[in-house]
């Protein structure tokens, strides 16, 4: 299971929900990172020491997890799907 799919599964809760309750229910939801390691949503969610008392919406919960996710959980670094082409230094010309 990927990170997004794990969040989808955890987001089935009824909101608003107490943070402690939701984090506890996430502890057994695991996913595989890009590098093949297995992590728990509960481990990621509990990294933050200043969590709110409750999540008021699914979006708030998703944003919380995405903001705490390590680099190997979210896409490719510096990936650009908009087609921009980076020129190498030897092809660039200064006028």
Tens digit of each residue's pLDDT (9 = 90 or more) over 19-72: 889 888 888 999 998 888 899 988 888 787 777 889 999 999 999 888 888 887
Continuous segment of H or E residues that includes residue 20:
helix 19-26
Q: Is 46 exposed, middle or buried (0-12, 13-18, 19+ CB in 10 A)?
A: middle
| pLDDT for 69 | 86
Q: What does the alpha-carbon distance between residue 22 and residue 11 come to, in Å, rounded to a whole number?
A: 9
- Rounded mean pLDDT, 7-20: 89
Helix (H) or strand (E) holding 67: helix 58-68
| Cis, peptide link before residue 16, omega less than 30° from 0 | yes
* pTM of the full structure: 0.69
Task: State residue 24's pLDDT score.
Answer: 86
Which pLDDT belongs to residue 47? 81
Interval 67-86: pLDDT, tens: 888 887 776 666 667 776 65
């Amino acid at each position: 299971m990927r990170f997004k799919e794990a969040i989808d599964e955890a987001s089935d809760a009824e909101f608003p929900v107490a943070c402690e309750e939701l984090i506890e229910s996430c502890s057994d939801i695991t996913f595989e990172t890009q590098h093949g390691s297995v992590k728990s949503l509960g481990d990621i969610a509990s990294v933050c020491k200043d969590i709110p008392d409750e999540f008021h919406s699914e979006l708030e919960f998703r944003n919380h997890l995405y903001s705490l996710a390590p680099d190997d959980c979210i896409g490719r670094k510096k990936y650009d799907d908009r087609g921009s082409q980076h020129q190498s230094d030897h092809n660039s010309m200064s006028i």
